[in-house]
Structures are given as C-alpha cells and as structure tokens.
Structure 1
Amino acid sequence: MSSSHRTPAAATDSKSSRSFYVGFCLAGLGSVLFSAKAVVAKLTYQYGVDALTVIGFRMLLSLPFFLLISLWQMHKVRKKEIPALTRRQVAELVLLGFIGYYLASLLDFIGLQYITAGLERLILFLSPTFVLLLSTVYLKKEIFPRQWVALALSYLGVALVFFQDLSFSGSNVLLGSVCVLGSAISYAIYLIRSGELIQKIGSTRLVAYAMSISAVYTLAHFLFIQGWDGLVQPMPVYTLSVIHAILNTVLPTFMIMWAVERVGASMSAQLGLLGPVSVLFLASWFLHEPITAVQLVGTAFVLAGAMVLSRRR
C-alpha cells in the first residue's frame, strides 16, 4: 500500500512514533547539555572569576528568554486562556525561585571551584534520593526494600569517587562536596514543593516564572557584592557565559519539558542518566580530568541506583 493510501490508524501510529523519537532525542540531548554546565563553569573559572560571577552572567543572559515566555503566559492570562495566579501561588513561586534556581545554583558553582566536574555531577545526581528521603519525612511515604538498595548503590558510588578526589586534591574537596551536597538537597526541596504547584499552573509557567524570579535574586546579589564593575570581564568570560546561558540553561530546560510531554516523566528521568556519564568524557576532553577505574565504577553504582529509583512508580 502506498503512503498516500495509508489508513488513519497507520497515520496516527506514524505520528505517535515520530513524536516519541523526538521526545527521546530531546530528553537525552537536554540531559547532556544541562550536565555540561559543570564543564563550562570550570572553563570560565580559568579566567579568574568567582562562582557569583559565573551564576550572575548565566542568569543575566538567560533572563530575556524566560521573560519572553513569562510575558507570553501573562498574555494568555489576560485572554482568559489560563487562570490567573493566586496570592499563595505567587508566594510559592517566589520561594521556589529562591530555593531551586538561586540557592541551589550558587552552592553548586561554589562547590565547582574545589572539586572535579565528574564528582559534582555524581553528587547532584543524588537529588532523587534526597527527594525520596524528604518525602518520607514530610509526606510520610514508605521506603520499600528495593529503594533502600538504590540508595545504598548511589551513596556507595559517590563515596568511591569522593575518596579518590580527596586523595588527589586535599581538604578543599570536602568543602566543595559539602556545597554541592547542599545544592542537591536544596534542589530536592524545590522538586517536592513544586510537585503540587506544577499540576495547577503548568510546567511552562512554573519554569519561566521561577527562573525569572531566580534571576532577580542572583543579579541583586551580584550587583550588591561586585557592583557594575563586575560586568567588566575578559572576552572569553562573555563567550563562555553565552554558551552557559543558552546551551546549558535555556535550551535544556525547555527540551526536557517538551520531552516529558512526549515520552513521559519516567522515560525522561531514565534518559537523564546520560548526564553524569557524559560529564566524565566531556571533562576529560575539555578539562583534561582523568577517567579512572574508580570513577567508572562509582558512576556505574550511581547510575544503577538512579535507574532503580526512576523505574519506581
């Protein structure tokens, strides 16, 4: 049968299949791009800037994109296509913008000054385990034996890489790891708090508003500490910051959101496992960080644990 004589059911299946593969690619590529922010940040540190400058430029350059999406959402509210936010929802967004994209990012980039990009990505990948533990405390959810195994595998993997980095770099690894750990916990709290809100206002509006609010916190902090003089940096800092803002922030944020719409949250989460693996090789390529057997074993443990958690409905 020729393509021009396909049945409606066949055409629907073809469209559904195409949508799935588009979502599959978006989730995988989005995870790699988002994880690569650690490599870009480390490259930027080579020009003598600090964590606040890196996150400040990141949010300054990505803010216009999120503001445009926010204005589009406000336009839809005025046309009564979507409901207006309540005062409580606005207050929650202000809190989420502080916790999820300001505090978590600041702690992450401070930590990156002291530890390798590979270790940073593994620690951040513990966020699902923190979500599980915090959900047990605040939402009274039960942890099943299978999930305890996943937790043990994840923490064992991070411990292996941590102690190797500690032997290479000294006590600063402990400080950097604590900062990144704080980032992972902060982001886990953000995920828990945003779970109910996203059902009410939608993922596009939540991300655009929360990122815009986070940018205000970040830029206020940046200008208070460094003033307008902080905007004067070497040309490579501007170039890397544009890459950081567009390729490692704006694009992956929406790519992963679009992927969830096409393949679901579970599949997107499993494809997110590409992130820590890609960072090992990207860090080796761009930063000349060694890939050791301990790193590979540790990464395998973390991925195994995350795989178990992502498959848990």
Structure 2
Amino acid sequence: MDKKTHYPAGAWLALIAALSFSMKAIFVKLAYHWPIEAVTLLTLRMAFSLPFFAAVGLCESRRAQPLSSRQWLIVVLLGLLGYYGASIFDFVGLRYISASLERLVLFSYPALTLVFGAVFFAQRIGRREAGAMLLCYAGIAAAFAHDLRLAQDMSAVWIGGGFVFASSVCYAAYLAGGGRLIPILGASRFSAFALLVSTGATLLHFLLTQSLQALHQPWQIYALALAMAMFSTVLPVFALAAAIRRIGPGRASLISTAGPVMTIGLSWAVLGEPISFWQWIGTALVVAGVLLVSRK
C-alpha cells in the first residue's frame, strides 16, 4: 500500500476514533436516566471491554520480551491514572454538567500534557504552546459562562467541571508518561496492559463500595454499557492506533479536534441539549488551541 492509499485510510480511521470517543458522554448521559452509580456503570463498561484487551495483551506478549519490574510499575501507575482515574472522574462529572461542556473541559488534556512534560521531563514550552494553552482555557471559560448562566444550581457546574478537569489531569499524566514507554513496549501492547490494570482497579473499587445487587440493572443499562465498551472503548483505541501507523500522530491528533464539535452535535440531536453562541465560541477556541499545539 503506497502513501496515497495510506492517507485516506488513516484519515478515516482517525475520524472514526474521534466520533467514537465523542459518543461516550452521550452513552453515559443516557444511562443516567436510570438510578445507577458511576462506578457500577464504569465496571460494566470495562468488563465488556476486558476480553478484547486481554486477547491483544496476550498476543503481543508472545512476540516480545517480558517487562521488567520497573516497566510493570510504570504501567500499573499509568493504567491507574489513564483509564481508571480519568474514567471515574469523568463519569462522576457527567452527573452534573452537559455532555458538550464535558467534552470541552476534557479537551484541555493536550495543554496539560505539555505542562507535565515540562515539569517531569524538562521539555520546553514555547510561545506557540503557551498560546495554545491560553486559547484552550479561554474556550473552556466561554463554555462555562454559558452553562453557569443557564444553570439552576451554579455549584453543580463547578463541581462537575472540577471532576472532569481532574479526569483531564489524569489522562494528560497518562499520555506524558506513556510517551516514554510506548516506544519501548509498542502502542498496542502498552494500551492493552494499561486497560487491564484499570479494569482490575475498577472491579476492586466496585467490590469495596457496592454490593452485587448493584449489578441488577435493566437491560437498557447493559445495552448502553456494551455499546460504550464496543464503540467508545475498543473501536476507538484500535482505530486510533491504526491511524497513527498510517498517517502519524500529528495528523491523527489534528483530525481528533473534530471531537468537541461532534459531541456538541450529538448532545443536541440525542439529548436535546441547547447550543448557544458562547458554546460555539468556546469550541472554536479549544479546537484552535489544539490545532496550534498539534502543528509541526
């Protein structure tokens, strides 16, 4: 397959990944129509995803050298941050704020990844990166202003926004640390191991805080959790990995900036959430910031 064939396939895979990730908030908001705890919903999502990532981890391990003790320690730490900590904070935050605002706040992770790189790995933050961070946070502020103006309980917007921002911090730390380990382990192997760690942590959290009666949910919850596992976990992880192999991480990340716009459109079409001028301004600023930081 030549480069001309590689690019369209890679671009479509990256777009599919962006759309799939954008659907996660919609699935969560739909599930919250029933009285279900965030950890129970996350447990169902991770349990449905487990067989796929276990199979990938097993296949990749057969073809590679075993991890050292230090590498296992880093994988466990990053798995706890990236797919357990980030997910549980995100699911809790979605109880309080709209899906569209959640996606904008969560999209602050590229700028936060730069901060972690500078603090822990001595990577320089230039003027362009600093400008990108300012654009991202200006966009989040504009979207926050919209939700605060419409909210009956302003504290709920702050609480939900705080949880989702904590999710973004966890995911940025996962990306910053994973960037050092992925070249050694490989993207698929690292992602599979990190997701297996997060699944174990999620199941332990559930067993410590919930009874097994919490799993007695209506079939709609199981259907939404299965859809979230297939279309917002397994599919985008592998689609994004395939896209990066074809067109590189830079182009793949540029295409992923369609994510917030997709989430706003889906939240309007599926959830009936209003779309305002300030939301579009916030989205444009956040997307501009990510585009700026993604350019070579």
Shift of 1:142: 2.5
Which consecutive unaligned segments of at least 5 residues does structure 1 have? 1-11, 77-81
Establish whether residue 136 from structure 1 lines up as the match of residue 118 from structure 2: yes
Structure-2 change in CA distance of 1:289 and 1:138 (3 Å): same
Distance 2:146 2:251 in 1: 32
> How many equivalent pairs are there?
294
Instruction: Give matches, 1:124-163, under 5 Å.
Output: 124-163=106-145
Aligned with 1:264 (options 248, 271, 275)? 248
Distance 1:74 1:66 in 2: 12
Letter in 1 for 2:222: Y
Query: Residues 223 and 230 of structure 1 are in contact (CA less than 8 Å); yes or no, is this contact kept in structure 2?
Result: no
Distance 1:67 1:138 in 2: 31
Shift of 1:147: 2.0
Distance 1:260 1:288 in 2: 34
Structure 1, residues 204-245: CA drift from partner, whole Å, max 9, x if none? 100111101110100111122112212110110011111000
Distance 1:50 1:291 in 2: 28
Aligned with 2:10 (options 4, 19, 23)? 23
What residue in structure 2 maps to residue 251 of structure 1?
235
Which consecutive unaligned segments of at least 5 residues does structure 2 have? none
Query: Residues 32 and 278 of structure 1 are in contact (CA less than 8 Å); yes or no, is this contact kept in structure 2?
Result: yes
What residue in structure 1 maps to residue 150 of structure 2?
168
Percent of aligned positions with the same letter in both sequences?
Answer: 38
Distance 1:308 1:255 in 2: 24
Distance 2:120 2:207 in 1: 36
Query: Residues 103 and 260 of structure 2 are in contact (CA less than 8 Å); yes or no, is this contact kept in structure 1?
Result: yes
Query: Residues 42 and 112 of structure 1 are in contact (CA less than 8 Å); yes or no, is this contact kept in structure 2?
Result: yes
Normalised by the length of structure 2, the TM-score is 0.97
Distance 1:136 1:20 in 2: 32
Shift of 1:109: 0.6
Distance 1:121 1:225 in 2: 28
Query: Residues 33 and 252 of structure 1 are in contact (CA less than 8 Å); yes or no, is this contact kept in structure 2?
Result: yes
Distance 1:197 1:141 in 2: 16
Structure 1, residues 134-178: CA drift from partner, whole Å, max 9, x if none? 222222233222222211111111001112111222210100000
Distance 2:269 2:280 in 1: 16
What residue in structure 1 maps to residue 170 of structure 2?
186
- Cα RMSD for the two superposed structures: 1.1
What residue in structure 2 maps to residue 44 of structure 1?
31
Structure 1, residues 239-297: CA drift from partner, whole Å, max 9, x if none? 11110000010000110011000000000000000111100000001100011111001
Shift of 1:74: 2.6
Normalised by the length of structure 1, the TM-score is 0.92
Letter in 2 for 1:304: A
